[in-house]
């Protein structure tokens, strides 16, 4: 495994666990883009698959606590207008 890949995986896991306001998709996209730019040609796909599996495992173990606008289902929906 390339050293930069190992570093990026650690960064992604850290964001998953300790930055509840950063959505999973944002973390994934940023880490994958950095890998594509600074690591091997296969790193983007490798990191994508690895981080996805790690996220699922952390979520299953209850170690993920994402919160904030856009991170909880329905938090971006607008309330229904009333005709008062």
Q: State pLDDT tens for residues 33-72.
A: 999 999 998 999 999 999 999 999 999 999 998 876 655 5
Say if residue 49 is exposed, middle or buried (CB neighbours under 10 Å; 0-12, 13-18, 19+): exposed
Which residues are CB-contacts of 37 (< 8 A; sequence separation ≥ 6)? none
- Surface-to-core class of residue 3, CB atoms within 10 Å of its CB (0-12 exposed, 13-18 middle, 19+ buried): exposed
Question: Which numeric CATH code is attached to 3-60?
Answer: 1.10.940.10
pTM: 0.76
């Amino acid at each position: 495994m390339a050293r930069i890949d190992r570093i990026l995986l650690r960064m992604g896991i850290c964001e998953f666990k300790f930055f509840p306001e950063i959505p999973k998709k944002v973390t994934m996209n940023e880490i994958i883009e950095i890998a594509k730019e600074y690591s091997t040609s296969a790193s983007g796909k490798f990191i994508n698959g690895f981080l996805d599996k790690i996220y699922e495992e952390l979520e299953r173990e209850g170690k993920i606590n994402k919160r904030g606008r856009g991170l909880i289902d329905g938090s971006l929906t607008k309330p229904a207008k009333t005709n008062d």
